[in-house]
A and B are shown apart, each in its own frame.
Chain A
Amino acid sequence: MGTTELIVEPGRQDVVVVHDFEVPPELAFRAYTDPALMPRWKGSERFAVVVDEHDLRVGGRWRLVMTRADGTEYPMRGVFHEVSAPHRLVSTLEFEPGGPGALQLVVETFEPTPTGCRLTSVSLFASVEDRDGWVPSGGLESGTRASMAMLDEVLAS
C-alpha cells in the first residue's frame, strides 16, 4: 500500500493530500478518475458514494452524492477546468446546498517516482475561514496540524 499524507497548515487557505502510488501515472490517473471505481474507494463505513455525472473533459461537469447511514445526503459538484491525462487535473468542488468551505479549486498532479508516482492534491479555498470551515465538518480531518499543534502545546506544558 502506498503512503498517504494530509497537510493542513495553520493560517493557510489550502488542504494538501499527498499519496504515493506503486503504479505509473497512466494507471493511477485512470483509476483515480474512473467513475465506476469511485463508489468502491471514495466512501467509507459511514458514507456510501453515488456518482451522478462525471464528464471528464475541459468544461465537463461532475456530481456525486455521499449518503450517510441515516439517509442524509451530501451532494457535491464541480466542473473540470483542465484535464491533462495522466499528469494534471484541475477542477472545482462545492457542496450543492452551499455547505461548508464554499468553493474550492482543486489541482491534482501525478508525478513519476522511482517506485510509481506521487499524487499531490491541493484544494485551494477563497479564505482561511472557508478552509477551516470545510475541514472539521466536511468529513475530512479537522484543521489537523493546527489542532494537533494546539494539543501538543497544551499537553507538553
Chain B
Amino acid sequence: MDPLSATFAALADPTRRAILARLADGEATVAELTEPFDMTTQAVSKHLRVLEEAGLISRGRRAQWRPSRLREDALDDATDWLEHHRAAFRQRFDALDREIAAMRKDEGNQRWEPLS
C-alpha cells in the first residue's frame, strides 16, 4: 500500500481517530490509551501499530512504556494530497472553459467577419 492509502486506511477507523484525538493532547502510553476504551491492551496495541505504519504516530523506544506521539506532518501530507487533486480537477474544467471561450471567438469571427 502506498503511504497515502495507508494514511487514509488508518484514518477510516473510528477507534483510531479517537486515539489520534487523544494524542493531539500529548503523548500517552498504551495503558493510558486503553483506559477510555472498552478494549484490551492488545487491541489498542494493534491499532497503534496500524497508526505507526501509516506514519501518523511515532512511538518511544523505551520497551516498557513506548509512549505514542501524534505526527502532525503526516496529517499535513494527507491534506495537501487532497488539495492537490481537488485543484487538478478544477484545472481541467478551467481548461475546458478556455476551450469553449476560444470556440466562441472562432465562431463569432466566422459569423461576423466572413472571409471575402
Task: Say how far A137's CB is from chain B's closest CB, in angstroms.
Answer: 7
Measured between beta carbons, the chain A residues less than 8 angstroms from B79 are 151
CB distance from A101 to the nearest CB of B (A): 14
Within the complex, what minimum Cβ distance (angstroms) separates B8 from chain A? Answer: 6
Q: Which of B11, B12, B97 has the most CB of A within 10 A?
A: B97
Q: Which of B13-48 contact A (CB under 8 A)?
A: 17, 20-21, 24
A147 touches B11 (CB 8 A): yes
Select one of A4, A37, A154 contacting B90, CB under 8 A: A4
**What chain A residues lie within 8 Å of B8 (beta carbons)?**
136, 142-143, 147
Q: When the two chains form the complex, which single residue of A23, A31, A42, A151 contacts B75, counting CB atoms closer than 8 Å? A: A151
- Report chain A residues within 8 Å CB of B4: 136, 142
> Nearest chain B CB to A27's CB is how many angstroms away?
6
Number of residues on chain B facing chain A (CB within 8 A): 31
A148 contacts B93, C-beta separation under 8 Å: no
Q: Return the contact of A157 from the options B24, B88, B95 (Cβ within 8 A).
A: B24
Given A4-B93, A22-B97, A44-B91, A154 and B82 contact (CB-CB distance below 8 Å): no
B82 touches A4 (CB 8 A): no
Closest to B107 in A: A27
- Whether the Cβ atoms of A21 and B100 lie closer than 8 Å is yes
A144 CB-CB contact with B under 8 Å: yes
Min Cβ gap A49→B in Å is 10
Instruction: Give chain A's interface residues, CB within 8 Å of chain B.
Output: 1-2, 4, 6, 17, 19, 21-23, 27-28, 30-32, 37, 40-42, 44, 46, 136-137, 139-144, 147-148, 150-151, 153-155, 157
